Structures are given as structure tokens and as C-alpha cells.
Amino acid sequence: MRSLKKANGYALMGGLILASILVVVVFADHLPLRPPLQWHKLLIREDGMVVVPPFKPGNGFVLGSDYMGRDVLSRLIYGARLTLPIALSVALARMVLGVVLGGLAAFLPGWIAGRIKDFTKISTGIPALLFATIFLWVIRPWATGDQVESAFWFALILGLTGWGRTADLIRRRIDTLLGRPFIEAAVAAGANRWRILVKHITPHLSTTIIIGLVLEAAQSLIMLGQLALFGIVAGGYQMFSNSSDRPYIVTYQPEWGTMLMKSVESVWSHPHLFLYVAVAFFITILGFNLLGEGLRRKWEG
Amino acid sequence: MTKVLAVGRRTTTALLLVLTVILIANLPIVFFSEDMLASPPRAYMFNLEMFQERNVELNMGLYPERLKSYFSMLAGGTLGKTVEGRLITNDLIKYLPTTYTIVGLAMLISITLGLALGFVGSVFLRHLRGVGPVYMALTTITVSAPEFVLLALLRVFMVKAYSNWGIDFGHLYYPVLGNVKLGDHLVPLISISVVAVAYVARISTGFFDSVAPQDYIRTAKSKGVRPFRIVSGHALKNVFIDILDAIPGVFGLLIASMMVIEHLYGYPGVVGRFIHHAHRFSLDYVTAVALVVTVTYLLLDGVTSAVQGWLDPRRREAPGAGGAV
């Protein structure tokens, strides 16, 4: 109990939220859920009424169903199996680029370092969403039907367009470390630039990298949600022509972005469909932010 | 002479950065298929057969040609044409004010309200038992709510308010026409401002906390200056100087949020139109919007650096002062 009191509240809450999500997602096959792809044309309610999808919560559908009569709760849980790894991959890609470029900006002398700093600053300022939108829309990785390939392209493009913040974080941290007495001692002992980087700076960067990775996962999730609203989703979809001019979009694989995109169509008639996915995004983002903030307070004060 | 050299160096850097943005914005051409190139820019997304299948191919040969034609177009004094055949320059003149009005107002709200909340949070709430953690937790929760979550909540609230209590929000319900009067901007403004306010409140709380143990604050305290006077007379100016660093970043955050809001509302702004043109593979429009956003960012960065230098002599005299450009 005492150790629980001493624990960092932010990290504890964030860790609990993320651990709960992880457990539910990993053990989804053992939970009493409807299959995420099973669809229902009609539902006979307990009062004898026959209704068409999307069904409201109840009658075996905890959060209701989508427009094809598929269980929303089940699709949210199974959908996390694609959405969350993509968000983590994006965060990892950004962190790798950030460490390399931030490290170079801090260590390389003169003009090149200055230009890397400028480019980093601009990269932070221009919304990554602008470039990610056009690149992903042109490549359309979801149309290949291969979810792994789709996830790869999302991680690559979002990583390449959003590394500025992490590079800036790493550069600032290295700048701070370079002013510490143990670095002065290493210089006095005759250590060269690269030895200082590998032996003295890198071990101290690990906490910054972990915190950055967690916070960047939250940012990646926000961006995945934003892209989904523009029709850019990792889960994939098909378009069919109907009597009207606009094509009819059908989604198959459960994925949060795909669910968000599809639910926008019925946001007025069935706002709960949009709200459930939006809340799923929000809770997970909150979990990552709380964990990141907690770790920052614990390790960096 | 030194000042002239510094201005020349900054101008060169700015031009290099603008050039980089042009190079990146035109890069998607290497992923273009023959269908996309056939009659660009076309309403590709509605061509179902082409849309269903995709083999990602790389054609680097298209890139130099595209850059050559883009730069010759720039040299001709134009940014190209929209998918509807209008000049992009005219489109920007028409739609940019709507976007920048809301983003500008949101920036103003987020800086003033965020600073005020940071002040209240750091000076008053943080020291009250039990209130400080709640305040910090609330800001973390708000920062975690993307604009589409807030938008969904606002919409559901408006629907419920109408069906349960008979409150009709009128044009606010779905302000698709927009840009008519100030009231039309209210829902988009609230949706994009909330996160930015929480973000500024968080960082300004940290800045107020870091200023508190400084020597000049302790001296003022020991001389018996009232706490409010210490903050308003000594701390606020230094916190404001630090907050200025965040302004270009807040602009980037708000532009991204504005893209979502304009797209969802069908709001007549330039970043909502960006999605419309990106869906039709108009690289001319994409590049033009990226350039406008970059130039605005550079201007904001330059202005905030100048204001910081004016307010803080240490920054003015520091080597390399003056932001990205």
C-alpha cells in the first residue's frame, strides 16, 4: 500500500489504462464477443419488433452494431490489433530519425548542424498532416489489400513527415548533457567526440527516448484519427457504385481509422457510432500521455 | 555591415527552406501511375476500377520533369490552376482569410487564456492540497482530446439539447455556409482552441514554476512585495518571453486541427480545400498551400524572435539569436 502511495499517479493511471487495453486486445479470442466480421441483416428485439442495422446498444450488442449489423465492441477490440501497432511503429520510426538527426545537429560543428537545426524547426512547424495526406493518398497502401504492407507505408510516411519534434527533443537533451561536469571530466581525460557520444551521452538518452516514444505514440494516434477523416485508413475499404453519384463505401477489416471514416457518414443519424470510436482514440491517447507525463516527472523531475 | 550579413544569411536560409518545401511537396509524383498522369488533375477517387487495385511503383524519372515544369510555372508568375480551372492565387485570396481568421482568433485565445490559466494554476491552484494534481490531470486530459473528439461531443450535445430541451443552435448546428458572420465561426473556433489552450496552460504553468525560485523573485519576496505584484511585475514578462517560443508550434497545431474541421464542416477555408485537391492529385495546389503555411510559419518565427530580442537583451546579444531565419 505504501509503495502504491509513493508511485507516480500519472504513470500509474496511464499504465493501468494501457495495460487494460493490452490485456483485452491480446485475450480477445477468449472473451465472449461476437465475431467482428459477422454481420446481421435484421434483428428481432425482445419486444418482438424487427429492426435493421445499425442496431442500438442492447439485445446482445453491448455498444450496438454498425451499418452492416456487426458488433461495434468486438470491432473496436479487434481493430486495436492493427491500429495500435501502427501507432507504435510510427512513434518508433520518428524516434529513430529524431535520434540520428538530433544527434547530428548537436554534434556536428558549423554550417551543417545549423541547417539541420533549421530544417528540424521547419519540420516541426509545417503540419506533418499536409504532406502525409498527399503521400498516403497517392500511394494508397490500403488498396493492396495487404495489412502488413499498409502498416509499413503508414509507419514510413508518418515517420518521415513527423520526426522534427523528436529530433528537437533529442538535440536539446544532448545540449543539456554536454554542459554537465562529467562531460567536462571526459574531455579533460582526453576522450574524443565520438567516444563521448557513445560512452557518456547515449546511456543518459535512454530515459528521454522512452518518454519521447510514449508521447509520440499518442501524437501518432491523433494523426491516424485525423487522416481517417480524410479517407486515409490502414484497414482498407471498397467502393461500390449505386444509383446516386457518390460511391458507397464498404469496410471489412476492423480498424479504428476505418471505423471512424465510415461512422462520419452517419454522424447525424447515429452519432453513437462516431462517438464510440472517438472515445476509443481518446482513452488510448490519454493513456499514452499520462504514462509519458508520469515517466517524465519520475526521471527528469 | 554585420547586420547586413546577418540579414543576408537569414534570407538565404529562408529561401533554402522554401526550396526544400517545394522539393518535398512535388515528390509524390514518383508514385503517380499512368492513370493519374493521363489527365491531371482528375476526379480520381470516383473512378472505382482504378481505385480498387494498387501496385506501388516508383518512377523517379517523373520527378525532374515535374520540378522543371513547376519552376518554369513559378518563373511565369503563377502558382498553377485548381482542379476547377481557376488560378490558385485567386483561390488562396478567396479562402485563406477564412482559415487564418479562425486560426488567428484561436491563437489569440490560446495564448491569453493559456497564460492566464498557467498563472492561476502555478500561483494559486498548485499550492492547494488536492487541487494541484486535479488541475494538472485536467490539462493532460484536455491535451489528449483530439479536435474530432471535441467535435463529436459538441455535435452530440447539440443534437441532445435540441431533442431533449428544445434548444435550437440554428446555424451553429451545421455551419456549412460559414464566413457569413462571427457566430458561424463559434463551433470550429471552440473545437480547435480547447486543445491549444490546454497546451499553452501546461507549458506556461511549467514556466511560472521555473521562474519562482529565481534570485530576482526571491529578492522581491524578501523586500515584502505583494505576491500578485511579484507575478505581474517580474515573472509575467519572463514567462511571456518563453511562451513566445511556442507560438509557431501552436500555429502548426491549429492548422492541422483546422484541416479536420474545414473538411468535416465543408467549411470554405484553404486547408479544407487542400483535402479536396489532394484527393484529385493536384500537386500544384498541394505545393501552394504547403508554401503558404511555411512562409506564415517563418514569418511568425521571425516576429516572435524579434519580440523576444526586444524584450530580453540577453537573447538579443546571444550568438545565433533570431530563430530559424
pLDDT tens-place string over residues B125-170:
766 777 777 888 888 888 888 888 887 777 777 777 878 888 776 6
Please give, rounded to a whole number of angstroms, the shortest distance from the CA of A137 to a CA of chain B: 7
Please answer whether residues B263 and A229 qualify as being in contact, where contact means their C-beta atoms are separated by less than 8 angstroms. yes
DSSP string, B227-262: HHHHIIIIIHHHHHHHHHTTHHHHHHHHHHHHHHHH
Q: Which residue stretches of chain B are H helix?
A: 2-25, 34-38, 48-52, 62-75, 88-123, 131-143, 147-165, 186-211, 215-222, 227-230, 236-244, 247-265, 270-278, 283-311, 313-317
Give A110-129 pLDDT, tens digit per residue: 778 888 888 887 777 677 89
* pLDDT (mean) for B221-238: 82
Give A270-286 pLDDT, tens digit per residue: 888 888 999 999 999 99
Q: State what percent of residues in chain B have pLDDT above 70.
A: 85
Q: In Å, how far are A162, B22, B184 from A213, measured between CA atoms?
A: 13, 30, 39
Please answer whether residues B88 and B81 qualify as being in contact, where contact means their C-beta atoms are separated by less than 8 angstroms. yes
Contacts of B36 in chain A (CB under 8 A): 138
pLDDT of residue B211: 82
Q: Within the 145-184 window of chain B, which residues sit less than 8 Å (CB to CB) from chain A?
A: 145-146, 148-149, 152-153, 155-156, 159
pLDDT of residue B12: 81
pLDDT of residue B7: 76
Give A191-200 pLDDT, tens digit per residue: 887 788 888 8
For A154, the 3-state DSSP assignment is: helix
pLDDT of residue B52: 63
For residue A142 the three cell numbers come to 490500403
Choosing among A17, A115, A126, which should be mutated to test the B contact, i.e. which has the most B CBs within 10 A? A126
Higher local confidence (pLDDT), B175 or A220: A220
Q: Is the minimum CB–CB distance between A250 and chain B shorter than 8 Å?
A: no
* pLDDT (mean) for B283-292: 92
For B10, nearest residue in chain A (alpha carbons): A118
Contacts of A218 in chain B (CB under 8 A): 144
Q: If you search the block for the grid coordinates 484536455, which residue do you land on?
A: B142
Give B6-33 pLDDT, tens digit per residue: 777 778 878 888 888 899 999 999 988 8
Q: Is the minimum CB–CB distance between B268 and chain A shorter than 8 Å?
A: no
* pLDDT (mean) for A246-251: 74
- End-to-end distance of chain B based on CA atoms, in angstroms? 18
* pLDDT (mean) for A3-23: 83
For B298, nearest residue in chain A (alpha carbons): A122
Higher local confidence (pLDDT), B180 or B136: B136
* pLDDT (mean) for A136-154: 88
Q: Is the dihedral of CA A92, A105, A178, B323 positive or negative?
A: negative
* pLDDT (mean) for A20-46: 88
Choosing among B141, B173, B275, which should be mutated to test the A contact, i.e. which has the most A CBs within 10 A? B275
Q: Is the minimum CB–CB distance between A121 and chain B shorter than 8 Å?
A: yes
Establish whether the linkage from the previous residue to A54 is cis, with ω within 30° of 0.
yes
Asked if pLDDT for residue A178 goes beyond 50, the answer is yes
Asked if pLDDT for residue B64 goes beyond 60, the answer is yes
Burial degree of B176 (CB within 10 A; 0-12, 13-18, 19+): exposed
pTM given for the model: 0.89
Q: In Å, how far are A231, A273, A290 from A36, measured between CA atoms?
A: 21, 15, 30
Choosing among B24, B62, B153, B187, which should be mutated to test the A contact, i.e. which has the most A CBs within 10 A? B24
Query: A59 CB contacts (<8 Å, ≥6 apart)?
Result: A43, A45, A46
Asked if pLDDT for residue B174 goes beyond 70, the answer is no
Give B103-112 pLDDT, tens digit per residue: 999 999 999 9
* pLDDT (mean) for A178-187: 86
For residue A168 the three cell numbers come to 528537437
Q: Name the CA radius of gyration of chain B, rounded.
A: 24
ipTM: 0.86
Q: Name the CA radius of gyration of chain A, rounded.
A: 23
pLDDT of residue B325: 45
Contacts of B20 in chain A (CB under 8 A): 119, 122
Strands A248-251 and A237-240: antiparallel
Please give, rounded to a whole number of angstroms, the shortest distance from the CA of B187 to a CA of chain A: 16
Q: Within the 119-138 window of chain B, which residues sit less than 8 Å (CB to CB) from chain A?
A: 133, 137
Asked if pLDDT for residue B324 goes beyond 60, the answer is no
Pick A137's closest partner by Cβ from B252, B260, B278: B278
Please give, rounded to a whole number of angstroms, the shortest distance from the CA of B140 to a CA of chain A: 7
Pick B146's closest partner by Cβ from A124, A264, A285: A285
Q: If you search the block for the grid coordinates 518563373, which residue do you land on?
A: B75
CA distance B3 to B14: 16
Helical axes A164-178 vs A202-229, angle rounded to 10°: 160
pLDDT of residue A210: 94
Note whether B51 contacts A231, CB cutoff 8 Å: no
For A142, nearest residue in chain B (alpha carbons): B54
Please give, rounded to a whole number of angstroms, the shortest distance from the CA of A257 to a CA of chain B: 12
Asked if pLDDT for residue B305 goes beyond 80, the answer is yes
Choosing among A138, A216, A284, which should be mutated to test the B contact, i.e. which has the most B CBs within 10 A? A138
Please answer whether residues B191 and B151 qualify as being in contact, where contact means their C-beta atoms are separated by less than 8 angstroms. yes
* pLDDT (mean) for A7-23: 91
pLDDT of residue B175: 47
Note whether B290 contacts A124, CB cutoff 8 Å: no
